[in-house]
A and B are shown apart, each in its own frame.
Chain A
Amino acid sequence: MFSVVATAVRFYVLPDADTLSATHPAASEVGMTSTTRTTSGGTAPLPRAILSTHGLTKAFDGFRAVDEVDLAVAEGTVHALVGPNGAGKTTLFNLLTGFLPASAGRIEVAGQDITGLPPEKVARLGVARSFQVTSLFPAVTARAHLELALQAGTDLGRRFWRSDRLLARFTGRARELLDQVGLAERAEAPAGSLPYGQKRALELALALALDPRVLLLDEPTAGMGLEDVDRTVALVDRIRAGRTVVLVEHNMSVVGSLADTVTVLQRGRVLVEGAYRTVRSDPRVVEAYLGAGVA
C-alpha cells in the first residue's frame, strides 16, 4: 500500500515542486559574475547570464568531446555555437539539456545549478530545444503536437480519467503558433506527411510552445534549400524578441545575420568568442574553421 501512495505522491505532487524551485532566490546574484574565457573578442561587460557553464567536460572513453567549456549566454541575446564537425557542438547541446550526463563541471540556468538534472526537468525550468535530426511524432497532426507541448505546462497529463477533449482549450494557442511558423494551413496534417522544411518549422513551433526562457536550436537550417533558410532566419529573428536563443549552425550567413555573440569551438574547447565581425576575422578561426575562401 505504501508504495502505491509513494508513487502517486512522486507522480502527482513532486513535479510542481521541481518547477517551483525554478525561481531560486540566488538566481539574480550569480548571473552577474562574468566568466573567464580564452576569448580575444573583447565584448563589453555582459548583462545577466541566463545560461552558463563552468569547466563543463564530457569524456567518452578518454576522448574529451567537450573539454572544460566556460560559456556565458547573456539574457536576451542570440548566441551562436560554431565549429568544424566533431567540435562538440551537439554534445554540448545534449549536456545543456540533460540528455547526456556531464563528466565534470557545472551548468547553471539563471544561477540555478541544473547539472545532472534529467531532460524533462531542464525543459520544465525553461530550457527548450529543437533536434538536429527532426524529432516528431509521425502519426500525430501538427495541431496535436502543439497541444501536447502546451499541455506539458499544465498538470492535465496526469488526468487519465478525463477526456482528451479537454485539450480543445489549447487549440487557439496551437493555431497561433502554427500561424507564427507558417503552418496554419497544415494544422490537420500528420507530421509524417509534411515536407522537410515544414517539419523543421514544426520543430521550432514545438520549442516555442513551451514558452522557454532559453531556446536551444540545433542546426535549424540543416538540409534546407535557400528559400527555406531565408524563411527560417526571418522566423528566428521574429521570435527572438524577449528570448534568449542559443544556436548551433554551420551556415555562416545565418550566423552573421542572427547572432549577437559567436563562440567558436574546436576539438571540444572554446577557441574564440566574441561578436561575429570580430570572430570572423580572427586568424585562429580562419585557420581552424572558416578557411581562406571565406576570410
Chain B
Amino acid sequence: MILALLDRLGARPAWLRWGLLAAGLVSVLGLPWVLYPPVAADILCWGLFAVAFDLLLGHAGLLSFGHAAFWGTSAYATGLIAIHAGVPFPLAVAGGAVAAAVVAVPIGLLAVRRSGIYFAMVTLAFAQMIYFIANQWGDLTGGENGLQGIPREVPGLDLSDSFVYYYAALPLVLAGLFAAWRIVHSPFGRVVAAIRDNPARARALGYSVDRYKVVVFTVSAFLSGLAGGLYAVNHGFASLQEVYWTTSGKVVVMTVLGGIGTLWGSLLGAAAVVRLEDWLSTSGFDEVGIVTGSLFILVVLLFRRGIWGTVSYLLQRRRAAGAGMRSAESGNGTVRDPAAGDRPEPSLVKEP
C-alpha cells in the first residue's frame, strides 16, 4: 500500500504537486503553534537564506563560502535603517536586501572569474573583509557589542509578540521563496542551468557566462539579504556573528542536508539545523558546531543527495524500474526521465 503511494509520489501528477504545496503552506502557517515562535521565525529566515543559497549552489553550480557577507550586511543595514529612519520593518528589510545586492555586485564581478574551490575562496576572502569592516567600524555597527535595539514596527500592528511577528514576516519570506522558484523556472533559469552543466557549450551558443553568473549571484545575495534583515528584526539586534564565516558554513550545511539543487529541500535542511541547534543549546550542550559538523560529514559521505534529493531519487528509481519493465514489454527502447532521478550525485565543488 505504502509502495503504491510512493509510486504515485514519484510520478508527481498535478494533484500531488498542489498537495505538496498545500502541505507546505499548512506547516509553515502552523509552525509557531508547534514551536517556540522566535525559533519558528528563525526557521523562516534560515529557510529563505538556504533557498537563496541553493539558487546559487544547486542551480548555478557556484559554491560561495562567503554568503554571511550578504546576510550580515543586510542585518546591519536593516537595523540601521529601522533605528535611524523609523520606517516600518518591511521597508527596512527591503533596504537591507538592496544593500546586500549592492555589495554582491563587485564581489560577484571579481569572483566569477574563478570557478570551483577558487570561487569559494574568493567569496570567503570578501566575506572576511566585510567582517573586518563591521568589527572596526564600531561607531556604526556597535563593534563587539553588536547593533542593539532594532525596532520592530508596522503602523497599526503590535509586533512585540513574536507570534505576531512570525505572521508579519511570513509574506516577505513567501515572496522570496516564490522569486527563487520563478527564477529557476524562467528562461534565465534555463540558461543558468545550461551554464552550470556545460559552460563551454553555453558560450558557443552565444551566452555571456560571466554576466549570467554575476546576475544570479546578485539575486541570491538579495534574497539572502531579505532573510538576514528579517533575522535581525526578529532578534532586535545584529551582531558580528551575522558576518562571521561560521554563518557562511551553516547555510552550506543546511543546503547540503536538504539536498543541493532541490530548492525546497533547503527549507527542510534549515528547519532541521535550527531545531537541532535550539534543542542542543536548551539542553545545555554548548559545542553545537561539533554536532552540525558531524552531521555535514555524514551527509557528504553517506547521502549526498540530501533529504529531499534522496527521497526523490528513490522514487524516481522505482518509477524508472516500472517504466523500464513497461517499455521492455512494448519494445519502446530507452525513454528516460530527465528529472532528478537520472542526475548524478551532486558535488559541492565542480573543478574548473
Contact = CB atoms under 8 A, between A and B. Distances in A.
Contact of B102 (A1, A192, A206): A1
Contacts of B197: 137-140
Contact of A160 (B189, B203, B211): B189
Contact of A139 (B106, B188, B338): B338
B187 A164 contact: yes
B194 A118 contact: no
B186 A162 contact: yes
Interface stretch (A49-57, A76-84, A151-159): A151-159
Interface in A162-196: 162-164, 166-167, 188-190, 192-193
B209 A166 contact: no
A190 B334 CA distance: 10
Interface string A89-129: 00000000101000000000000000000111101100011
Interface stretch (A7-15, A27-35, A262-270): A7-15
Interface stretch (B42-50, B214-222, B306-314): B214-222
Contact of B189 (A147, A164, A190, A193): A164
Given A7-B214, A163-B185, A148 B190 contact: yes
Contacts of B334: 189, 193
Contacts of B342: 139, 190, 192
Contacts of B190: 144, 147-148, 151, 157, 164, 167
B136 interface: no
Nearest to B222: A4
A149 interface: yes
9 contacts: A6-B105, A15-B211, A119-B200, A152-B205, A152-B207, A157-B187, A157-B207, A164-B185, A189-B334
B186 A164 contact: yes
Given A1-B102, A7-B109, A151 B191 contact: yes
Contacts of B335: 188-189, 193
B182 A124 contact: no
A136 B204 CA distance: 11
A278 interface: no
Size range of the interface on A? 35 or more
A153 B194 CA distance: 16
B336 interface: yes
Contacts of B257: none
B198 interface: yes
Given A119-B204, A156-B187, 4 more contacts: A4-B105, A7-B218, A164-B190, A189-B334
B194 A137 contact: yes
B185 A123 contact: no
A11 B215 contact: yes
Given A99-B200, A124-B206, A148 B186 contact: no
Given A4-B218, A120-B209, A148-B191, A163 B203 contact: no
A159 B186 contact: yes
A71 interface: no
A135 B198 CA distance: 7
A11 B211 contact: yes
Given A4-B101, A120-B209, A137-B197, A160 B338 contact: no
B183 interface: yes
A63 interface: no
Contact of A148 (B101, B194, B211, B215): B194
Contact of A157 (B188, B201, B336): B188
B241 interface: no
A4 B186 contact: no
Nearest to B206: A123
Contacts of B201: 131, 135-137, 206
Nearest to B196: A137
